[in-house]
Structures are given as structure tokens and as C-alpha cells.
Structure 1
Amino acid sequence: MLLAAVATVVWSGNFVVARALHDAVPPVQTAFWRWVIALLAVLPLAWPQLRAQWPALRRHAGYLTVASLLGIACFNTFIYQAGQSTSATNMAVIAAASPLLIVVFDRFTGRRIGGRRATGMLIALAGVLALVAKGSPAALLELDFATGDLWMLAAGATFAGYSVLLRRRPKEISGIVFLCATFAVGVLLLAPAYAISLSAQGGFAPTASTVGPLLYVGVFSSAIAYFTWNKAVALVGAARAGIVYYLQPLVVAVLSFALLGEGVTVVQVGCMAVIVGGVALAAKERKADR
């Protein structure tokens, strides 16, 4: 669970950084360069094992392609696209559905959903919604949903599918080689869309304000966060690791307070406590629920 928490914290920073690139770098170009940087970061680590595991990579090319399509090419591209036409509040509401989708998809593979886990997830979800609504249920009814919300919903679904698919990772492919392979395939899948974006929208200026954030999302939000998330799913399962994803709004609030100086209200503190309590309850599943 600690590994899943590390990934969640790093991904929370990704939302802040991605917002900084909103007007400077088109969504598809952000995603493309993110994965190019991530590939360059993990390639030296995976290289010694690549030759030995190359036959396994060829045998499981179909699986690797699907995993790359869902978790690499589509997931974050959809998030960046969603940010073009919807608010951060709406994105937070829809992102809260990701752990539920993971459980639903995981259930189709025969995994049992225990009562303790289900209760904890519902409590955490209630805390997330209360945090987004700032303690006012009426605020949720006043949200103005846009096209970007559909992109965000698609992002949640692809992330859930990717997380569940991780349980089927071939054992003869190591974690670092799996990352390297999926990053490489993801770059290839994004290349046509990148070329279209470059032709239609032009490129971007490689300044400190664009390269710096891209390095963060490439190295930290991609190479490090994906490695820790994949390892967490391998150890505790997609559904249980997904519970920690509910902590993201809490982490974003803490980062906003620490880095941006935004105030924290009593309602927000109360909501955070509810989220942490729900996650803690869901994480303490019985062996029979695994």
C-alpha cells in the first residue's frame, strides 16, 4: 500500500504541473514528450535485461500493445485533453470514480469484493465528494459538465482497465522491462497523433517553463510513479491499490497549501479525515476478501 501511496502523491503533483503547461503545450504533444522522456529514463536500467527477455516480449506483443494503449497512450492524453474544456472541480469528481471502476473491472476477473472494502470505499468516496463540494451538497448539483468531462471519464476507464490488466503481466517479463516496453509502444502509438498535432497546432518553445514540467511528468509522474504503482498492484491487487487513489484530493490540497499558499478550511480538514478513515478501513481487508 505504501508503494501505491507514493504513486498517488507523485501523480497529484502531475495535476499541478500539467496545469502549468495548459496554454504552452498542446495535450497530445505533452503526452508524447512525457513518454519519450520516461522511456529515456528507464532504458538504461532495463537494457541489461532486454536481450534476455526479448523472446518473451515478442510472445506477449498483443498483451503489451493493449496495456500500452490503455495506460500509456490513452490515459494521460485523455486527462490533458479534458483539462482544455472542463474545470478542475469536475475533473476531481470524475477522477473519484476510478477506484470504483477498478473494483468493477477486477470483479469481472473473479476477484471478490469484501464488505469491509466496499464500506471503506464508499466512505472515502463520500469524503471526496464533500471535499469537492466544500461541504455543500447543493454545489455538486450546480456543476456545469462539459465535453472535457467525457474525456475525463474515458481517462478513468482506461486507467482502471490498465490497472486490472497488470495482474496478467507475464512473469517472465520483469517490472522494469515491462515499463520500458510499454513506454516504447506507447510512444509509437502516440506518434501519428503527435505528427497531426504538430502540423495543425505547431510546436512549442523549449524554455524552462515548458521543459522543466515535462521533465517532472516524464521522470517522476511516469518512470517512478508507474513503477511503484505497477509493483503495488502486483503485491496487493488492483482493487486494493486503487483504494489509495482516493487520497489524491487530499494530497493536492496539502500541496496547494504548501506550494501555493492556499488556505485550508475546517470543512476541508474534516473531509480529509473522512477520506483517510475510509481508505484505512478498506485497506484492512480480511484474507477471505483477497
Structure 2
Amino acid sequence: MSDRRSLLAAAVTVFLWASAFVAIRSAGVYYSPGALALGRLFAGSVVLVALLVVRREGLPPRAAWSGILVSGVLWFGVYMVALNWGEQEVDAGTAAMVVNVGPVLIALLSGWLLREGFRPRVLAGIGVSFAGAVLVGVSMSGEGSASVLGVGLCVVAAVSYAVGVVSQKPALRYGSALQVTTFGCLVGMVACLPFTGQLLSEAGSAPLSATLNLLYLGVFPTALAFMTWAYALARTTAAQMGATTYVVPALVIVMSWLLLSEVPGWLTFAGGALCLTGVAVSRARRPAQAEPDRSAKVTTG
């Protein structure tokens, strides 16, 4: 039952993170990268703190704070600002290819620092999914341009994402998914406070639809999705969870098709299929080995 719940939590996470790409595209027209990150984190923090109070979970144990601080600053803070900014400097295809280095880094860092090992199935699945992400990126590149600044920002986002996940995993040994997510989001929000002036100025001129997208990003892809992520991460390896996020490009293809009327080409479909195949490989269980029949007596002539 626990495994089913973790799979459901992972599924909720990747679905909501995929929907975030559509919302970011809309809100990002009217909100600058830092303001968008701060607004998203503020909305998410309000929801998470309310849940924390209702459930009376209180502060996480002291042992969890080092992981919360690192993941809060890097993943909730630096990652969101860098990705928002990077996608304004490079085309979507380049951003997708560079940022999807993140799960590869997670597998390497978790195998080394968390001593999770390097499982052949997980590594093979990551390789297949990364190839799919590259195909999706190439197919989405179009006439976009890749600036050095934009590529650098996407690299920063990928590294921040990977280090944030690997730092969050140990924190979940001591704190609950809600505690780790809530205080990580609060730390990220504090790190983004220098963008307060931009957020207030842009919120006054942005249309209602853009602000609603910002609030959606905070409530669902941030508060809910990061909490379900933490719940699933506590029950599996960081490398497996990183590989699972390769479902996101495939879902973005479908959502863009349905919601934005962006008809994907055959190369995009092929890349999405590879992403899904890689995730399936990474999460496949080893076949159980047959136990020897010890009830059978060996007789000799």
C-alpha cells in the first residue's frame, strides 16, 4: 500500500510540474523572473503554513535543518529564478535539454553522497529518458537563439535542482514531508525577498489572468506538488525520483497540444515516448529470484 501511495504522490507531482510550464509561459509575459519566483513562493508558503498549523506539526527537528536550508535556498530560490530568467534568454528546446541534466546529476550525487549506489536499471532509464529529452529539445528549438547567459542560467538551474534534491533527502529522515516542504519554501521565499519591489510594481499592472496563473503556480505546482514530491522521495531513492521527472516533458507536449493548440511534430512525440520508456525502465523492479526447494530430499544410489 505504501508503494502505491508513493507512486500516486509521484504522479501528482509530475502532472502539476508539467502544468507549471504552461502557467509560467503565461505569467512570465507580465512578471519578471525574480518577481514571479517570489510571488509563487509567497502563495505556496501561505498554503503550506496553514496546513502545518491545522495538522499541528510544528518545527522540524534540528537534524533536518541543514538539508532544509540548502534545498530551500538552492531549489526553491535559486532554481526558480534561474529557470525563469534562462527561459527568457534561450529557446525552449535549449532550456529543456540543459535543465534535464538535473536528474543525471541527481543520480551521480545520490550514488556518491547518499551512498544509494548506482543501480543499472536506474542509470539505463535515465540514459533513455535523457535521450528523449534531447529529442524534445531539438524538436522545440525552432528559430530560437541560445545566448551564453541563457545557457549558463539553465546550467545553474540544473545544478541547483540536483543539489537541492540530494540535500532534501536526508532531511526527510527527521522531518515530515509537510515540515520539510513548508520550511524549504519559506527559506526560498526569504532568499527572494530582494525582488519584493518588482513584484509589487508588476502586480499593479499585470492582467488578472497573469496573476491567477502566479497564484496557481504557488498553490498547486509549489505547495501541493513539492509536498507530494517530498512524501515520495522519503520512500524511494533520489535517483529514482529524479528519473521519474522525465515524465514531465511528455506531459508538457500533451498539455501544450490541448491547451495552447501547439501541435507537436513526430520528433517531439518520439522524444516524449522515449522519456516515458526511460521512466518505466528506471522504476521496474528486479524479478524475484526463485528460492531453492529445501523440502526436497536428495537421495543417492
Aligned partner letter, 1:23: V
Instruction: Name the aligned partner's letter for residue 147 of structure 1.
Output: L
Residue segments in structure 1 that go unaligned for 5+ positions in a row: none
Amino acid at match of 2:102: S
Work out which of the residue numbers 2, 10, 35 in structure 1 matches 2:16: 10
Separation in 2 of the partners of 1:130 and 1:232?
28
| Deviation larger for 203-212 or 83-92 | 203-212
Separation in structure 1 between the aligned mates of residue 188 and residue 53 of structure 2, nearest angstrom: 18
Residues 135-150 of structure 1: matches in 2 within 5 Å?
A: 144-150=146-152
Once the 2 structures are TM-superposed, how far is the Cα of residue 223 of structure 1 from its aligned partner?
0.5
* Distance in 1 (alpha carbons) for counterparts of 2:145 and 2:211: 34
1:209/1:12 CA distance change after superposition, 3 Å: same
Task: Tell me, in whole angstroms, the C-alpha distance in 2 between the residues paired with 1:213 and 1:221.
Answer: 11
Instruction: Please list, as runs of the form range in 1=range in 2, the aligned pairs for 1:66-81 lying within 5 A after superposition.
Output: 66-81=70-85
Structure 1 residues 62 and 196, CA gap change in structure 2 (3 angstroms): farther
Secondary structure of residue in 1 paired with 2:88: coil
Give 1:169 shift: 1.2
RMSD: 2.6
* Larger RCO of the pair (alpha carbons < 8 Å, separation 6+): 1
Once the two structures are TM-superposed, the CA of residue 5 in structure 1 deviates from its matched residue by 2.9
- Of 178, 181, 193, the match for 2:180: 178
Q: Does the 8 Å contact 1:90/1:145 carry over to 2?
A: no
Cα distance, 1:247 vs. partner? 1.6
Gaps in structure 2 of 5+ consecutive residues: 1-6, 289-301
CA separation of 1:210 and 1:266: change in aligned 2, threshold 3 A: closer
1:53–1:172 CA contact under 8 A, matched in 2: no
Counterpart of 1:114 in structure 2 is 119
CA distance in 2, matches of 1:88, 1:267: 15
- The answer to which of 163-172 and 70-79 deviates more is 163-172
Task: Kindly state the Cα deviation for residue 35 of structure 1 after the two structures are TM-superposed.
Answer: 0.9
Report the Cα offset of residue 177 of structure 1: 2.1
The alignment's TM-score, normalised by the length of structure 2, stands at: 0.83
Deviations 1:139-171 (A, max 9, x none): 89x973431111111111111111112221154
Task: Tell me, in whole angstroms, the C-alpha distance in 2 between the residues paired with 1:267 and 1:85.
Answer: 24
Contact 2:38–2:199 under 8 Å retained in 1:
no
Q: CA deviation at 1:2?
A: 3.6
Aligned residues: percent identity? 23
Does structure 1 conserve the Cα–Cα contact (< 8 Å) formed by 2:93 and 2:136? no
C-alpha spacing 1:77/1:208, structure 2 compared with 1 (3 Å):
same
Q: TM-score, normalised by structure 1?
A: 0.86
**Partner amino acid for 1:208?**
L
CA distance in 1, matches of 2:260, 2:268: 16
Alignment partner, residue 155 of structure 2: 153
Say which structure is richer in helix: 1
Letter in 1 for 2:218: G
SS at match of 2:89: coil
Counterpart CA distance in 2 for 1:271 and 1:37 is 34
How many aligned positions are there? 279
Contact 1:114–1:285 (CA under 8 A) maintained in structure 2: no
More displaced 10-residue stretch of structure 1: 61-70 or 122-131: 61-70
Bigger radius of gyration = 2
User: C-alpha distance in 1, partners of 2:78/2:101?
Assistant: 17
- Give 1:1-290 correspondences, 5 Å limit: 1-48=7-54, 53-54=58-59, 56-57=60-61, 60-109=64-113, 110-134=115-139, 144-169=146-171, 171-191=173-193, 193-195=194-196, 197=198, 202-205=201-204, 207-286=207-286
Contact 1:22–1:83 (Cα < 8 Å) also in 2? no
Distance verdict in 2 for CA 1:65–1:287, change over 3 Å? farther
CA separation of 1:29/1:131 partners in 2, compared to 1, >3 Å: closer, same or farther?
closer
